[in-house]
Structure 1
């Protein structure tokens, strides 16, 4: 029998009767799955070709069938690591079939895990979860506690992705004692950190649903779990994992209101990020610290936040970190606004919108490729009945993608509560209108009086209803929905073209009257709502920023003069 160097194995290098050569190539491919999956695919492909020849010559030979299954599983694993997900799912599924046929349950469990993860990465969470659960059941039947616990973590991650945080935490809790008994520090820390992150997600969902009291215990629990995970992660001497645990801890502390503790974790994470080869964490850490500084708002925090966001923006631009760049630019725009540099803020808002649209387009393309991969996998496993059915499915998928793209574009421009243009969309509309000429163009800025008291006394649900009603009043007075926007909080902005200052003053008064005389008892018995309004003529100003600043000053003059009035 000729000797074979598994490092040089190719498709035609392994004799069909070389059990040892095939086995060596499979092991070599497995060893390369993380460091060089492309080379692993080449080697596993060669092993598979030889194993198929061997299995065809000796169809009843159990070792030959096991080698065939091993080669399929190794190829699927390498393909998954190289993001060839449809091929990975196909080969892992084929490996499962062979392992099942020969009764090799350990191999079947491992192949089902790879199959399940590939399906999850393709977006088929339900199908992937089914394979992971089957892998767990096989491991339980075999008494393989380690494989069982690995499957439990994977299942927990999918439940977290599905938004079922309670189930995710339950699965991590099942895996934790298995790793503790095995003294597996790394996976103990992984369970603790994953539980902490699931609690953060759960708390966020409670906040989004307006249930702040229910959210608080989750953030406290997340802080406790992440604090337990962090020293264990440090013991593992794995800087990426330590940074991940610090990120979870900072999220938990920030949502708990412990901004100083959050800042300490973030600064340590930033220091670690400088040791990591990738640039993404360096940028994201800076942006996250900046957001926390802006939230804390101590002396000097705003200046440091602006500096960190500028650095993060530069890192993203220099290293083409496309996915991370838009939110960093959006935060930079808000920091520039707070610093008073409105021109730079507007430029940053425009850049954010451009970047976000590029990301939306690329996301749609990736989802299209994933859907095509899933469809190709379905066709491989079972032929479709007719060409008509295939065309209908493709048309449906295309319609779904078009609808999703349209929704993404709409959300990029619309304030979800009021349906008005959001800040950046309104500023873009105003810039176009300004460029068309300032003659007859007026800007107004309106702020609801005592809105915090409304929230405090009546609750946030009533506060949201008030914002929606005021938005309708403003649009009704202006008469042009695209000219009206929500500037944030309880502030609304609008522009209009009228023939004189007197007409503008009458329009402003009519707007306040519409708000004042609205039937607020429909929202809350005894509720009364007024607003203060400032307006200015565009011709008085050299720039949009100057005009907005003047309208803002006039609005505050109206506030100081007793509220429920307009000044311009």
Structure 2
């Protein structure tokens, strides 16, 4: 009942039921049912903005599920903890947990859970895209959005197979949002058209999502009168469900639509509402943190320090962004080759593992070696050699798709991962890269300098695994070098 109320958009009613269920099973020492109840309780807490309490409940649910040795409930608890990290904007951890939850559901043959958790995994990928958009990097946003669409499409097919209209609508509404983020309003409109045709009764929460997503897409298309109409409807429904996040964003887009229409007074009113909601959310979170801090102090017998909590919380808040930036820098340093600004071997291994775990995903690997690189170092110095490697890294980044990966494999060797590509297409791309590198004016770096590369390719699925594909690409690379260098050799047959 608690979870049904969550689906209906009534988390305040559901939370009491979930708490009673958790207490009931705890009193009977039934770890599996208690884990399930606590997982739902955590999800409802999160829906109401109590993220710190949600983390504690989700962690407890996960511990109980492990003790109960119940894989299905473990998948639920793992997913909820992933959603908590997603809402806390710790996306790497969220991605890991949501993917694990999906795997666990698939392991026990629960296609409904698999579908639902996959929807959340798509949302986490989309969050990466939205962060890139917020920072103004439209190109970097496209890859995560495409990944989100791919995952959500798989969930959509499961939803249809399960005859689950609730999940169907979620998938279509989410993909409409992702396509809008990429600027593909045509595909977004197609998703929303399908959404409107899904059979079965839609609930207030679902209609709220539909009108908000449609309004957002209409703003992107420049159809402002229709956008205003749908955003107003979304706001009306969000007021009924108490969904502050939808109210916040719907007012934001409504303000933009009014402004584009030249209705500046209405735009100002919508923006004021947006601003008030943002302040309300911030105040609630600050109040909640202060309350939790007091609880923690009591536990540690440090009540005498509670008076200074407000000041300390302000100091923590002021330094939080600095810590986030530092964490991002450290993460990048751990995954990026400093000379070429390409992925390093550690990052490459993570990417290749994802292909190993998804055997149906087509990809092609290309191993690249700089011809006579030792001669370049000996003739022009190692400083020039480093400049050559850095410039090749720049050319690779510039001339591959945003969905592909370029990595420094070691020394003067590079590896390209062509995602969702056929061997012939990847071969053509490598031939263009070979010509770009050969025809580049290397005299700008050092007079008399000439650079060429040899490239070997292998089809990932034909090889059987990404690591076997590396071996095949490496063999083809050495064939290219043996045949005279400065050429592209793909696997045959």
TM-score (norm 2): 0.51
Following TM superposition, by how much is the alpha carbon of 1:265 offset from its aligned partner in structure 2, in angstroms? 0.6
Distance of 1:142 and 1:215 partners within structure 2: 41
Judging changes above 3 Å, is the alpha-carbon distance between structure 1 residues 126 and 347 closer, same or farther for their aligned structure 2 residues? closer
1:331 partnered with 2:253:
yes
Counterpart of 2:445?
none
**Greater RCO, CA 8 A, separation 6+:** 2
Q: Residues 22-37 of structure 1: matches in 2 within 5 Å?
A: 33=2
1:205 partnered with 2:137:
no
Judging changes above 3 Å, is the alpha-carbon distance between structure 1 residues 232 and 395 closer, same or farther for their aligned structure 2 residues? same
Counterpart of 1:268?
194
1:456-493 CA-partner distances (Å, limit 9, x unpaired): xxxxxxxxxxxxxxxxxxxxxxxxxxxxxxxxxxxxxx
Counterpart of 1:183?
109
Aligned length: 312
CA RMSD across the alignment: 4.5
Unaligned ranges ≥5, structure 1: 1-31, 38-77, 404-568
Q: Residues 371-382 of structure 1: matches in 2 within 5 Å?
A: 371=289, 374=292, 378=296, 382=299
Judging changes above 3 Å, is the alpha-carbon distance between structure 1 residues 105 and 377 closer, same or farther for their aligned structure 2 residues? same
Q: Is the 8 A contact 1:153 1:175 kept in 2?
A: yes
Following TM superposition, by how much is the alpha carbon of 1:328 offset from its aligned partner in structure 2, in angstroms? 3.6
Following TM superposition, by how much is the alpha carbon of 1:178 offset from its aligned partner in structure 2, in angstroms? 3.0
Distance of 1:36 and 1:212 partners within structure 2: 37
Distance of 1:179 and 1:145 partners within structure 2: 8
Following TM superposition, by how much is the alpha carbon of 1:248 offset from its aligned partner in structure 2, in angstroms? 1.7
1:310 partnered with 2:233:
no
Following TM superposition, by how much is the alpha carbon of 1:252 offset from its aligned partner in structure 2, in angstroms? 2.5
Q: Is the 8 A contact 1:310 1:332 kept in 2?
A: no
Q: Is the 8 A contact 1:283 1:313 kept in 2?
A: no
1:247-266 CA-partner distances (Å, limit 9, x unpaired): 22112323344321111112
1:168 partnered with 2:94:
yes
Counterpart of 1:14?
none
1:300-358 CA-partner distances (Å, limit 9, x unpaired): xx3xx41342253256358845744454454344434444xx3xx11212211332244
Following TM superposition, by how much is the alpha carbon of 1:200 offset from its aligned partner in structure 2, in angstroms? 0.8
TM-score (norm 1): 0.45
Distance of 1:213 and 1:268 partners within structure 2: 28
Q: Residues 344-383 of structure 1: matches in 2 within 5 Å?
A: 345-364=263-282, 366-367=284-285, 370-371=288-289, 374=292, 378=296, 382=299
1:525-552 CA-partner distances (Å, limit 9, x unpaired): xxxxxxxxxxxxxxxxxxxxxxxxxxxx
Distance of 1:217 and 1:393 partners within structure 2: 42
Following TM superposition, by how much is the alpha carbon of 1:201 offset from its aligned partner in structure 2, in angstroms? 0.9
1:292 partnered with 2:217:
yes
Judging changes above 3 Å, is the alpha-carbon distance between structure 1 residues 384 and 95 closer, same or farther for their aligned structure 2 residues? farther
Distance of 1:276 and 1:221 partners within structure 2: 27
Q: Residues 93-492 of structure 1: matches in 2 within 5 Å?
A: 105-106=31-32, 109-110=35-36, 113=39, 117=43, 120=46, 125=51, 128-129=54-55, 132-133=58-59, 135-140=61-66, 142-271=68-197, 275-278=201-204, 281-282=206-207, 284-296=209-221, 302=223, 305-313=224-232, 316-317=235-236, 320=239, 323=244, 324-325=246-247, 327-339=249-261, 342=262, 345-364=263-282, 366-367=284-285, 370-371=288-289, 374=292, 378=296, 382=299, 384-386=301-303, 388-393=304-309
Judging changes above 3 Å, is the alpha-carbon distance between structure 1 residues 373 and 157 closer, same or farther for their aligned structure 2 residues? same
Moved more, 171-180 or 118-127: 118-127
Greater CA radius of gyration, 1 or 2? 1
Following TM superposition, by how much is the alpha carbon of 1:93 offset from its aligned partner in structure 2, in angstroms? 8.5
Distance of 2:234 and 2:306 partners within structure 1: 45
1:28-59 CA-partner distances (Å, limit 9, x unpaired): xxxx545799xxxxxxxxxxxxxxxxxxxxxx
Following TM superposition, by how much is the alpha carbon of 1:146 offset from its aligned partner in structure 2, in angstroms? 1.1
Moved more, 321-330 or 169-178: 321-330
Judging changes above 3 Å, is the alpha-carbon distance between structure 1 residues 336 and 372 closer, same or farther for their aligned structure 2 residues? closer
Judging changes above 3 Å, is the alpha-carbon distance between structure 1 residues 289 and 374 closer, same or farther for their aligned structure 2 residues? same
Distance of 1:252 and 1:165 partners within structure 2: 17
Distance of 1:329 and 1:125 partners within structure 2: 24
Following TM superposition, by how much is the alpha carbon of 1:162 offset from its aligned partner in structure 2, in angstroms? 2.7
Distance of 2:299 and 2:311 partners within structure 1: 20
